[in-house]
Structure 1
Amino acid sequence: MLDFPAPKTMAKLLRSALAEHGHELSHGQCLELVARQLGYADWNVLAARMEPPRTDKDLFIPEGWFPGSVDSENFFRLGVDPDVPGVVRIEARAGVRIPGNTFATLMQSISARAYRSKRLRFTAELKSRNAGSGAIWMRIDPGGGGRHLRFDNMMKRSGDGALKGDADWTERSIVLDVPYTAASIHFGCLLHEKGAVWARNFHFETVDDDVPISQDGPFPPRPTNLGFDIN
């Protein structure tokens, strides 16, 4: 793991310095620039190698994982409870007003090289309490930026989707094809807006083509509603 002197602070200073010279960049763009300056492909890769921060006195970010949103820790607590090994927890902070559509995720980013041209299944067990939505997710990205190649966060499923409200331990899976052009794979668990979600028993495996995919990338697999039906 790395122990850089506050890369997020470096990004804020860079943003301020650029603004003084008439260049307006977002905080996220400055994070990406700092990552490049330190020799990493992007901010996700750098964040995964930094010393894991503590989110609260009783929750710890496990080695190899990182929060996927810069601001998520203002509204959520996430990490592993030392008294419950092998289980990660994400929960809304008590007494904090959480803006609509806000979520927190604990994630990893890995190279896609070993999985190119294969079908990949990501499985985990989830439990929720008063959750807006609790889910696992996986995204496959190309090299050099641009829109993701494949993505599924279980939110649009008609069945076997995200957990809502209270639910006991439930297994969920995501199955995606990894294109030959893929450069990186990003995955994790998430909580949307309120409540709490627990996750455990994460597992990756390649599967045969007869295992159906759960979401086929950013575009529909075939034309639909060519007759313009409204019902």
Structure 2
Amino acid sequence: MHSFLDSKHMAKALRQALAERGQEISHSDALELVARQYGFANWNMLAARIEAAQLAPLELPPGWHVAGHTNEGNYRLGIDPKAPGTALIESRPDRDQAIDRAAGETAVLMQSVLADPYRGSRLRLTAELRTEAAETATLWMRVDPAEGRYLHFDNLLQRPGGPLAGTLGWTERQIVLDVPETAATIHYGFFLRGSGKAWARRFALDPVGVDVATTEPGPRYLSRPTNLDFGGEQPAA
């Protein structure tokens, strides 16, 4: 089955087929006809989409890796070749419809370090993010034990003004988590959910004092049973 990436071959085949029927058209006219078949107003717009789809993979920054669940067929992740010192995650324009938004598909660039130097301390992750037509972009950080469920985690999604969306300039974000003595590893990075582009730079991971509050969302418990008959009683503080 052909895709729009085969447009030039399709235009050539179309031109040959019409010539066999005594209808001569130029190669440029054939390209225009193929573009319209794929729903584009003209060949220039289709050519731009083809160029975007054929972009080479980005180079990963040393020490960083792509999270295993990331579908690299839908995204590019790595160093922005136009901005040294800046990491980029972007959805591929030709794969926008393939992104599984119902499942909250994300592309994640991350780093993992041993917790040994940080055990018993409180850590602050800081970075700057920038977005372009992004559905959701944010920092995240997780503290894991050697086995079992994570110890602490935050991705800012439950915090008002935490994640970025749309098109925004450089914006600093922070996450603060405790690193218990039972911690084995620490993982952090940034991700793009859905389509668009997200850039990150100036990551820093620093110990802070206990006077700096953690950002991890706490459990939401009521002080007593409330509204058990669904009559509209407001929850007790």
TM-score normalised by length of structure 1: 0.70
Query: Which runs of 5 or more structure 1 residues have no equivalent in the other structure?
Result: 1-54
Equivalences for 1:75-86 in 2 at 5 Å?
A: 75-86=74-85
1:102/1:89 Cα in 2 relative to 1: closer, same or farther (>3 Å)? Answer: same
Residue in 1 that maps onto 2:128:
125
Contact 1:120–1:207 (8 Å) recurs in 2:
yes
Contact 2:124 2:207 in 1 (8 A): yes
Shift of 1:60: 0.7
Q: Quick check: which has more Rg, 1 or 2?
A: 2
Counterpart CA distance in 2 for 1:164 and 1:82 is: 23
User: Which residue of 115, 118, 129 maps to 1:115?
Assistant: 118
Kept after mapping to 2: 8 A contact 1:141/1:182: yes
CA distance in 2, matches of 1:184, 1:213: 18
- Equivalence for 2:12: none
1:1-231 map, 5 Å:
57=56, 59-96=58-95, 97=97, 98-100=99-101, 101-144=104-147, 146-159=148-161, 161-215=162-216, 220=219, 223-229=221-227, 231=234
Q: Which SS does the other structure have where 1:95 is aligned?
A: helix
- Shift of residue 104, structure 1, vs aligned partner: 0.4
Q: CA 1:181–1:81 in 2, change beyond 3 Å: closer, same or farther?
A: same
Question: Any conservation in 2 of the 1:69–1:104 contact (CA below 8 Å)?
Answer: no
**How far off is 1:75 after superposition?**
1.0
TM-aligned CA deviation for residue 82 of structure 1: 2.9
Secondary structure of the 1:206 match is strand
In structure 2, how many angstroms separate the alpha carbons of the residues matched to 1:102 and 1:151?
19
Percent identity reads 44
- Residues of 1 paired with 2:58 and 2:215: CA distance? 32
> Which string of whole-angstrom CA distances, capped at 9 and with x for unpartnered residues, describes residues 150-201 of structure 1?
0001111123x00011111000000001111000000011000111100000
CA distance in structure 1 between the partners assigned to 2:202 and 2:171 by the alignment:
11
Alignment TM-score, normalising by the size of structure 2: 0.68
Alpha-carbon distance, 1:227 to partner: 3.4
Q: How many aligned positions are there?
A: 172
The code of the aligned residue for 1:124 comes to: A
Residues 10-66 of structure 1: CA deviation (Å, up to 9, x unaligned): xxxxxxxxxxxxxxxxxxxxxxxxxxxxxxxxxxxxxxxxxxxxx953621111111
User: What is the DSSP-based 3-state SS (H/G/I as helix, E as strand, rest coil) of the residue aligned with 1:73?
Assistant: coil
Match of 1:33 in 2: none
3-state SS of paired residue (2:176): strand
- DSSP 3-state at the match of 1:74: coil
Q: Which amino acid aligns with 1:85?
A: P
Q: Indicate if the aligned counterparts of 2:138 and 2:156 stay in contact, CA closer than 8 A.
A: yes
CA separation of 1:99 and 1:174: change in aligned 2, threshold 3 A: same
